[in-house]
Amino acid sequence: MKEAHGVRVVVLGAGFGGLTFCQAFRHPSATITLVDRTNHHLFQPLLYQVATAGLSAPEIAAPIRSIFSDRPDVTVLMDDVQSIDLDGRTVKLGHATLPYDYLVMALGGVTSYFGHPEWERHAPGLKSLDDAVRIRREVLLAFEQAENSTDPELRRELTSMVVVGGGPTGVELAGAFAELSRTVLARDFRRMDPTQAHVVLVEAGPRILGHLPESLSESARRQLEALGVEVLVNTKVRDLREREVEFENGRVLRAANILWAAGVGGSPLARQLGAELDRAGRVKVLSDLSLSGRPEVFAIGDMALVTGLDGRPVPGVSPAAMQMARHVASTISEELGSPGGRHAARTAFKYWDKGTMATIGRSAAVAKVGALELTGFPAWLAWLGVHLVFLIGFRNRAAVLLQWMYSYFAYKRGARIIFGNTSES
Amino acid sequence: MKEAHGVRVVVLGAGFGGLTFCQAFRHPSATITLVDRTNHHLFQPLLYQVATAGLSAPEIAAPIRSIFSDRPDVTVLMDDVQSIDLDGRTVKLGHATLPYDYLVMALGGVTSYFGHPEWERHAPGLKSLDDAVRIRREVLLAFEQAENSTDPELRRELTSMVVVGGGPTGVELAGAFAELSRTVLARDFRRMDPTQAHVVLVEAGPRILGHLPESLSESARRQLEALGVEVLVNTKVRDLREREVEFENGRVLRAANILWAAGVGGSPLARQLGAELDRAGRVKVLSDLSLSGRPEVFAIGDMALVTGLDGRPVPGVSPAAMQMARHVASTISEELGSPGGRHAARTAFKYWDKGTMATIGRSAAVAKVGALELTGFPAWLAWLGVHLVFLIGFRNRAAVLLQWMYSYFAYKRGARIIFGNTSES
């Protein structure tokens, strides 16, 4: 098998970090084995668009194999990572055990319920295509059930949605759902009025999008409220039950759909490593992104805790993961090329903040690029532009653009299709 | 509620028949209630494209509500039909009971296993988006498992596929799967060779595409074999077991994926009607498509047995369903308009055969239009043209065309994404 020849590089995870590493690293004497639980690379930033019926699942996913079909040095395995033996330098998968000379861990994170795993049943997170398609199905089904119901109480519950967490994902979900009910579904029902749908965005901190300047948080709140979203700040969740959320201030909301966008935790595998973790479960790495005492093992992306030049941790965003991936790729390349041999003095990773943005709805968004702060339509255009550029390499970029244009001008959402195991709901 | 005013028309099923009726029928004193189990109209002829990863599910489905959002006289209900009371003139749904003045039944058919319902577990049929997405997932997963396996026996089984039934659906599935393995996946695997995948098409009769002239059946067989499909005619299935099919000639094939495209049976509801059914479970209707003794009840599409002018039954194809729908629409319109009142002398339905075609793969197909017989690329172009025209009204026609162009020129398949409850597999 290929990975038995030359320098064996094993990459765990085909997210932005793992994928970018494989694209950036290429060496005549090295072979790469890329392992992922799924068969596709997921364009995470648009996952909420699948959950809100704007895009279909395959439009934001690319088969990993086809991305590397022209790279005979890359072997792709769809398998689960069972455990990592750092001393033995092997990774145990469901179907095989892979020895490695270099290990690049890019396993991302998981939805964290802050010590309340039992809440997951009542408030799913949004991490995978399965999550997105399930959420879409549940929300659309709830509206159909509301149309079939004559009980106003039940209708209210069926058309209510609570999004927990005021970060970018929460803001994008709340905005998109409000828009879906206010504009897209508005004319489609005869008995109930979708514009009466109740969308609530809940944030524990003093403001939403806390990572952005206050002026942008404020603008985002105004834009959300203009869409009919009820924004609650300084509001902590005390308990989650079936179709019911209870806040610490005692208020109780009933809603058929409660979504969790509050916390990201580290990969469960990170705990096995014996490496130092932070509260969020991220692996503390050295400035070269390797594990302390393990120069052949790197952690990148959401699962890695790196401190930027400003002393603050590098945010868990895709540009950061891609920058880390390129840094590790050049580090390994240099070592394989240098006569000085392995693990010579390495350069430290530097994060370049390209800016951050969040979209709220049709021509509504906020963006910070360097010192520049954008809101409303200009921010939305910037957001659209950036995402389309990032989508390069996705065969369906044109189709995605087409869908957006359509949704934008026709006020419709193309992927409003209910399928999948509806008995679940 | 709307359907309580004026003449109440209830339509069951939003396939080609039900949908076309609602589009063709409109009367100031009438309201329509359209009931379907799902929330979308499905473009059945392209369902095999979803199963073979050529298209994504939403690309061949349109939300029923959005199709009629400009028709306040049409109420859409997503619900199950429990029973039909012909004497009481009511339809019992899961959430309501609908009284009707006219009933148009367009419930289509179900996959029939010729008295072997237990075979369904081992050989799923292709009727819904769920079926298509499940088949796609199972086939792609089998290839991934083959790549993970070192046992040649198991690999052979995992990359083998049996399609039972040599009609258009079976031919299209076998051809598309052969193409998928021969061309699309060919360069994507490192350990196993997808081009060795074994695709078998099984037909009980003496030739495939029995409804077409022999010359076209012969051409279809040659085109399939050119793609590497093993075509077995005069071959009956004796038994189906987990990953195993046994023929009456004693031959046994092991295959991870066995698909059933052999039989279409009538809707289970048809049996409740007490009307006369044929062997396939279709409802025998009068020349005006109404039930004998029930002038206010019509059956159209795949669930109706109508005899054409040539004395042969009208085939269960979408053009026939749409023609029946328009006939019933004009019949009811005339009656609502005529002072003579209800159920005056009605005109008989005449089926106009527009020709039939089947696609086999990339630029491979057979078509019969009137006296004209086409094969190969010309037939494929005709097929493409006809389907794109039929897709009119589907918002995503452009996107679908785009996907096809892409698949055609890049030899790739866009929707090769594995998601959904993979624990099933």
Q: Say if the Cβ atoms of A419 and B57 lie within 8 Å.
A: yes
- Residues of A with Cβ-Cβ distance to B38 under 8 angstroms: 418-419
Is the Cβ–Cβ distance between B128 and B41 less than 8 Å? Answer: no
> For residue range A5-52, what is the model confidence (pLDDT) as tens digits?
599 999 999 999 999 999 999 999 999 999 999 999 988 888 998 899
A 26-85 → B contacts, CB under 8 A:
38-40, 56-59, 61, 63, 65-66, 69-70, 72, 75-79
- Please work out, in degrees rounded to the nearest 5, the angle formed at the alpha carbon of residue A361 by the alpha carbons of A360 and A363: 105
What distance in Å separates the CA atoms of residue A387 and residue A367, rounded to the nearest whole number? 13
Q: Which of B66, B48, B320 is nearest to B172 (CA)?
A: B48
Q: Are strands B40-42 and B264-266 parallel, antiparallel or unpaired?
A: unpaired
Closest partner CB to A66 (pick from B1, B144, B188): B188
- Region of B421 (left: φ > 0; alpha: ψ -120 to 50; beta: rest) is beta
Q: Say if the Cβ atoms of A417 and B70 lie within 8 Å.
A: no
Output B98 or B367, whichever has higher pLDDT: B98
Q: What is the pLDDT of residue B277?
A: 92
Q: Which of A48, A55, A45 is nearest to A401 (CA)?
A: A55
> For residue range B393-408, what is the model confidence (pLDDT) as tens digits?
455 556 666 666 655 5
Residue A127 Cα, gap to closest chain B Cα (Å):
13
What distance in Å separates the CA atoms of residue B48 and residue B44, rounded to the nearest whole number? 8
Q: What is the pLDDT of residue A397?
A: 58
Identify the residue whose tokens are 């074999």. Answer: B225
Confidence of residue A279 (pLDDT cuts 50, 70, 90): confident
> DSSP string spanning A266-304?
E-HHHHHT---B-TT-PEE--TTSEETTEEEEEE-GGGE
Rounded (10°) angle between helices B397-410 and B376-390: 160
In chain B, what is the straight-line distance between the N-terminal and C-terminal CA atoms, in Å? 45
Q: What is the pLDDT of residue A367?
A: 85
What distance in Å separates the CA atoms of residue A32 and residue A51, rounded to the nearest whole number? 33
Q: What is the pLDDT of residue A274?
A: 87
What distance in Å separates the CA atoms of residue A234 and residue B375, rounded to the nearest whole number? 69
Q: Say if the Cβ atoms of B38 and A148 lie within 8 Å.
A: no
Q: Say if the Cβ atoms of B190 and A78 lie within 8 Å.
A: no
CB burial string A399-418: b at 16+ within 10 A, e below? bbebbbebbeeeebbbbbbb
What radius of gyration do chain B's Cα atoms show? Answer: 22
**Cβ of residue B228 closer than 8 Å to a chain A Cβ:** no
pLDDT beyond 70 at B409? no
- Please work out, in degrees rounded to the nearest 5, the angle formed at the alpha carbon of residue A217 by the alpha carbons of A213 and A219: 115
- Residues of A with Cβ-Cβ distance to B75 under 8 angstroms: 190-191
Confidence of residue B226 (pLDDT cuts 50, 70, 90): very high
**Cβ of residue B241 closer than 8 Å to a chain A Cβ:** no
Mean of all residue pLDDT scores within chain B: 87
Is the Cβ–Cβ distance between B414 and A58 less than 8 Å? Answer: yes
What is the average per-residue pLDDT within A127-149? 93
Q: What is the pLDDT of residue B405?
A: 60
What is the average per-residue pLDDT within B290-316? 91
Residue B298 Cα, gap to closest chain A Cα (Å):
25
- Please work out, in degrees rounded to the nearest 5, the angle formed at the alpha carbon of residue A299 by the alpha carbons of A297 and A301: 160
- Residues of B with Cβ-Cβ distance to A54 under 8 angstroms: none
Q: What is the pLDDT of residue A403?
A: 61
Rounded (10°) angle between helices B397-410 and A397-410: 170
Q: What is the pLDDT of residue B389?
A: 66
Output B418 or A267, whichever has higher pLDDT: A267
Classified as helix, coil or strand, A173 is: helix
> For residue range A142-196, what is the model confidence (pLDDT) as tens digits?
999 999 999 999 999 999 999 999 999 999 999 999 998 988 788 889 888 999 9
Where is B268: in which H helix or E strand?
Answer: helix B268-272
- Residues of B with Cβ-Cβ distance to A61 under 8 angstroms: 417, 419
Question: Which candidate in B32, B190, B397 is best for mutational testing of the A interface (most A CBs within 10 A)?
Answer: B190
Q: What is the pLDDT of residue B397?
A: 58
Q: Is the alpha carbon torsion for B375, B381, B382, B388 positive or negative?
A: positive
B382: CB partners within 8 A, 6+ apart: B357, B365, B367, B369, B374
Closest partner CB to B419 (pick from A57, A79, A94): A57
What distance in Å separates the CA atoms of residue B112 and residue B270, rounded to the nearest whole number? 14
Burial of A10: CB neighbours in 10 Å, binned 0-12, 13-18, 19+:
buried
- Residues of B with Cβ-Cβ distance to A144 under 8 angstroms: 39, 78
Lowest mean per-residue pLDDT among A191-205, A282-296, B389-403:
B389-403
What is the average per-residue pLDDT within B117-146? 93
**Cβ of residue A128 closer than 8 Å to a chain B Cβ:** yes
Q: What is the pLDDT of residue A394?
A: 53
pLDDT beyond 50 at B425? no
What distance in Å separates the CA atoms of residue B331 and residue A121, rounded to the nearest whole number? 52
B116-124 CB contacts, 8 Å cutoff, 24+ apart: B116/B240, B119/B240, B119/B260, B120/B260, B121/B242, B122/B240, B122/B241, B122/B242, B122/B243, B122/B244, B122/B258, B123/B162, B123/B164, B123/B240, B123/B245, B123/B258, B123/B259, B123/B260, B124/B259, B124/B260
Q: Which of B315, B318, B307, B319 is nearest to B350 (CA)?
A: B307
Is the Cβ–Cβ distance between B61 and B40 less than 8 Å? Answer: yes
Is the Cβ–Cβ distance between B238 and B248 less than 8 Å? Answer: yes
Amino acid letter, A47: L
- Residues of A with Cβ-Cβ distance to B414 under 8 angstroms: 58, 395-396, 399
pLDDT beyond 50 at B422? no
Would residue B248 show up in a list of annotated catalytic residues for this protein?
no
Q: Say if the Cβ atoms of A414 and B395 lie within 8 Å.
A: yes
Amino acid letter, B199: V
pLDDT beyond 50 at A119? yes
Residue B257 Cα, gap to closest chain A Cα (Å):
19
Is the Cβ–Cβ distance between B146 and B155 less than 8 Å? Answer: yes
What is the average per-residue pLDDT within B29-38? 96
Q: Would you state the structure tokens that stand for residue A241, as one six-digit string? A: 């039950």
DSSP state of B277: B
Amino acid letter, B33: T
What distance in Å separates the CA atoms of residue B234 and residue B247, rounded to the nearest whole number? 10
Output B203 or A380, whichever has higher pLDDT: B203
Output A76 or B318, whichever has higher pLDDT: A76
Q: What is the pLDDT of residue A261?
A: 94
> For residue range B229-276, what is the model confidence (pLDDT) as tens digits?
999 999 999 999 999 999 999 999 999 999 999 988 888 899 889 889
Q: What is the pLDDT of residue A29?
A: 93
Q: Say if the Cβ atoms of A70 and B187 lie within 8 Å.
A: yes
Classified as helix, coil or strand, B219 is: helix
Output A249 or B362, whichever has higher pLDDT: A249
- Residues of B with Cβ-Cβ distance to A69 under 8 angstroms: 187-188
Q: Say if the Cβ atoms of B187 and A69 lie within 8 Å.
A: yes
Residue A311 Cα, gap to closest chain B Cα (Å):
40
Between chain A and chain B, the number of residue pairs with CB atoms below 8 A apart is: 151
Output B28 or A410, whichever has higher pLDDT: B28
Classified as helix, coil or strand, A132 is: helix
What is the average per-residue pLDDT within A317-343? 86
Mean of all residue pLDDT scores within chain A: 87
Percent composition of chain B: helix, strand, coil (DSSP 3-state, to 5): 35, 25, 40
pLDDT beyond 60 at A2? no
Closest partner CB to A2 (pick from B190, B395, B416): B190
Q: Would you state the structure tokens that stand for residue B293, as one six-digit string? A: 């003794």
In chain A, what is the straight-line distance between the N-terminal and C-terminal CA atoms, in Å? 44
What distance in Å separates the CA atoms of residue B106 and residue B30, rounded to the nearest whole number? 19
Lowest mean per-residue pLDDT among A232-241, A374-383, B249-258:
A374-383
